[in-house]
Amino acid sequence: MTLSAEDLTCRSGADRLFAPVSFTVPAGGALLLQGPNGAGKTTLLRAIAGLGPRPEGRIALDGAAPWASDGAVALTGHLDAVKPGLTVDENLGFWARLHGRADAAAGALAAFGLGGFGERLAGRLSAGQKRRLGLARLAVDGARLWLLDEPTVSLDADSTAALGRLIGEHLARGGMALIATHLPVPVAAETLRLQPAAARHRTEADPFLAEPGA
């Protein structure tokens, strides 16, 4: 199993966000995506997951478009997909049943120090606890490719270490991870730095730009 990309880039409206990149992530491999604010790290992860416009260039997971491989890709990002009106147990239980891993839910919560929070409404968790719940979801997801957007934001040292162990176990099983981060992530990984593309003169309508005077 391999994730391979050639001359890959994304656009925001008319403009290319970053200079095209090529990389290969083998089974058991991780790649840290770095680059300045606005370079396009989140946009790229979302595009690989099939959210937003398709990227330009070529990217394949075992020869097929990653967004077309059912259940092979999991994305965790700033929003964490936590349902605030459900309890912690209900949130994780839903995801676990969805992936046929109901038996793994309790262990996943315990791994992120949420064992005693099962009855609490997710909307009443702290920012770091919400992030931990979102990450615990990975432990009950059978996806081979994890796309992690700033996974250590809001995490304390213990939770960061738990995340490192979770990713390490995933890689040891032959999984892969693409991790956009400004912070250290405790995992052995190559680093790819996105270089912002020079903004060119806009000659066509950019749907992301506000109308003058708006």
29 near ligand ATP (CB under 6 A)? no
Which three-class secondary structure state does DSSP give residue 195? coil
Q: Which two tokens stand for residue 153?
A: 């934001």
Closest CB 145 distance from ligand ATP, rounded Å: 18
Query: Based on CB atoms, which residue is closest to ligand ATP, 41 or 131?
Result: 41
39 near ligand ATP (CB under 6 A)? yes
> If 0-12 CB within 10 Å is exposed, 13-18 middle and 19+ buried, where does residue 50 land?
middle
Return the closest-CA partner of residue 105 out of 127, 120, 88. 88
Please identify, among the stretches 34-42, 55-63, 90-98, 120-128, the one whose residues bind ligand ATP according to the rule CB under 6 A.
34-42
Name the region of 211 (left: φ>0; alpha: ψ -120 to 50; beta: rest): beta
Other C-beta atoms closer than 10 Å to the C-beta of 9 total 20
Query: Based on CB atoms, which residue is closest to ligand ATP, 17 or 108?
Result: 17
12 near ligand ATP (CB under 6 A)? yes
Query: Based on CB atoms, which residue is closest to ligand ATP, 88 or 192?
Result: 192
| Binder among 26, 38, 84, 142 for ligand ATP (CB under 6 A) | 38
Residue owning tokens 């839910």: 105
Count of residues that interact with ligand ATP, criterion CB under 6 A: 11
Q: What is the DSSP string of 104-136?
A: GHHHHHHHTT-GGGTTSBGGGS-HHHHHHHHHH
| Binder among 3, 41, 131, 159 for ligand ATP (CB under 6 A) | 41
Site string for ligand ATP, 42-61 (x = CB under 6 A): xx------------------
Q: Which two tokens stand for residue 4?
A: 């391979």
Query: Based on CB atoms, which residue is closest to ligand ATP, 37 or 203?
Result: 37
Question: Which strands, in side-by-side order, build the sheet including 145-149?
Answer: 73-76, 145-149, 176-180, 30-34, 190-193
Query: Based on CB atoms, which residue is closest to ligand ATP, 87 or 154?
Result: 154
Binding site for ligand ATP (CB under 6 A): 12, 17, 35, 37-43, 208
